[in-house]
Chain A
Amino acid sequence: MNCLSNNKIQEYIDNELDASELSLVSNHINSCEECKKLHFELLADISFVNDALSVFKTEPKNIPSIEKYSDIKKVSVFRMPIFLKVSAAVLFIAISISIILAYYQKPEIINENEMMYYSLMNDSDPNEQWHDNQMLITISNKKNEIVFSFLMDNND
């Protein structure tokens, strides 16, 4: 067995190796001077760091061990086909537009021409209109343009 890497020895110190690997690594450290030396050095580093941190007098924390990926239970996930996703989005937009169109009333803008015709009734003598029973009839086309006007009274 070749010499161990720093990371592998660190994993050994941190108890992150599985049982089969733990045995191999432990045997190698005990039999290899180089790795044993590196192991001691890393332990010394940890001791140094712990000594340095001890000045903060923090209580030791019990850090839970990291769950191995192989131990995570696999959950089956249903993946919707892309055409279904697109169809659902289109359907949602279509329904939204339908609702907006159903409840939205287009503002009916009164035509300037029409307003001027109304003002004509006001700008002549209203008392005369009252006595003569004048009635202004206007007809506007789809574009709201006045196409016919007729001022009816008793005198014509």
Chain B
Amino acid sequence: MKESIVLFTLVLLIGATTRSQNISEIYKNEIIKLEAESGYGKLNNWEDIFSTPDFSLITHLGLHNQIAVAPEGSVFMSHKYLPEIWKFDTKGNFVKKFEPKNSKPGNSPTMPQVEGIFNGKYFFTINGYDGIQFFDFDGNHIKTLSLDFSPANCRSLENNKIAVFGYIPWKNRHSKRIIIIKDFISGEEIVIWSQIVNNKRGNMVVNLNDGSKMNLSIPGSSPIPRMATSKSGNLIIAFPDDGHVSVYSPEGIEIKSFQLKIEAVKIAQEDIDEYYNAGKSNVGRFEKRLKESGNFSNEEIEDMVSQYKVQLEKLRDKNVYPDHLPYFTNIIVDSEGNLLVFEYTERKHKASNKFRVYSYNLKGEFLNSSSFVSDEYKLRFSSHSFIFHNNYIYNVAEKKQGSGNLMRLVKFKVSE
């Protein structure tokens, strides 16, 4: 009997060890195939869950269904258009929904965003001006940490600390980008990075006849720094502008820094032409959406569409764009603590849905280069919707084939 117990324990240990090595080993493959776990969320009516609301009623934007995965595997998801948080159980089935405080439409220009898990027992959200709200896994509000600026995203750190990136309005259409580390218990905070940026960079601002303004975004301009939490609970900040990475302790002390060896994708004339043509083909849809909003008179819509067309012509000028795209798009830390740096890819890779992934350990050492692919789903590589958890990947992804709303919460197994 004792021999059986020892043997069983050994098998478990070997099994666990083998499994924990899987992710690092798997990056040696040029392509990493993700296979959706069958039966995950099988009780859900995905059409209802991801139903698209009437756009004419929507005045607020939300992020693309951000998620956080609790230690036991339940998932919390923020809605793209509604001020709601949804809870899914460990099998991916919808459990319930609830609204964070002050999250009614009109209270904030954005929807509440699920940002992560704190101390293994709370999940937390941000929503415009309402600071950081913490909830237990039943959705009960625990605490709100107030902020004197607008948060854009947060990361949970060790030692009861939380890192926050946000914006402060500045004069002459500038804004101050800021990263702080805040103490959950005392509320004390320290600023570890800040930068004043011109918001005209990255946007075309047009004065309309009635005194209002129209903004058009320009791709690849003015990217924000990306944050992630290392396995040991430190803060990783990566700067897409120059490919620099810094690691900070929860107390805000810079521990190490290194430079990513990534070559930025140049913006070619063909890219500019494609962007211009896409904008041109959308004139009708822009006008239709303006009418649907019900906010503008016919004269105002005429002025807006006319100005849009004028700005489109300016988008043909190469000088409007930066020389190259930022060095990377996002960073994500996997279950083993490797830092994955997602690159921009050339447009020719679009059809295959292949995204190259660079893996680094926290010494800044380059390990390999790879790609995640899924036959069944169009993957979304955002740090809040592509989550590693116990060697699985949770993703809010879109089915490649089918009809109706194809968005799904998917749990992927990683295989070679």
Q: Chain A residue with minimal CB distance to B278?
A: A133
Within 8 A of A (CB), among B354-412: 355, 380-382, 384
Task: Please list the residues of chain A having a beta carbon within 8 angstroms of any beta carbon in chain B.
Answer: 107-131, 133-142, 144, 146-154, 156
- Chain B 262-278 residues near chain A, CB threshold 8 A: 274-275, 278
The answer to whether A149 touches B275 (Cβ under 8 A) is no
* Interface flag for B219 (CB, 8 Å): yes
Please give 14 more A-B residue pairs, beta carbons under 8 A apart, in addition to A114-B199, A136-B215, A148-B295: A110-B173, A112-B167, A117-B61, A117-B109, A118-B199, A123-B224, A126-B220, A127-B345, A133-B274, A133-B275, A135-B219, A138-B215, A139-B214, A148-B59
Can you show 22 pairs from A to B with CB atoms below 8 A apart? A114-B215, A116-B109, A116-B128, A123-B384, A125-B64, A125-B380, A125-B382, A127-B329, A131-B347, A133-B219, A133-B274, A133-B279, A135-B275, A137-B217, A138-B214, A140-B213, A141-B211, A142-B210, A142-B212, A144-B213, A147-B212, A152-B279
B8 within 8 A of A: no
Quick check: is B175 within 8 A (CB to CB) of the other chain?
yes
How far is A134 from B279 in the complex, measured between Cα atoms in Å? 9
**How far apart sit A41 and B358, CA to CA, in the bound complex (Å)?**
116
Give the residue name and chain of the A residue nearest to B55 (CB).
Answer: A150
B286 within 8 A of A: yes
Contact B212 A124 (CB under 8 A): no
Contact between A119 and B167, CB atoms less than 8 A apart: yes
Chain A residues, Cβ within 8 Å of B308 = 137
Number of interface residues of B (CB under 8 A): 64
Residue of B with least CB distance to A117:
B61
B150/A127 in contact, CB under 8 A: no
Max chain B CB contacts within 10 Å: which of A113, A116, A120, A137? A137
Binding site for A on B (CB under 8 A): 59, 61, 63-64, 109-110, 128-129, 150, 152-153, 167, 169-175, 199, 202-203, 208, 210-217, 219-220, 223-224, 274-275, 278-279, 282, 285-286, 289-290, 293, 295-296, 304, 308, 325-326, 329-330, 342-345, 347, 350, 355, 380-382, 384
What residues of B have a CB within 8 angstroms of the CB of A109 in the complex?
Answer: 169-171
B278 close to A126 (CB less than 8 A)? no
Nearest CB of chain A from residue B107's CB, rounded to whole Å? 12
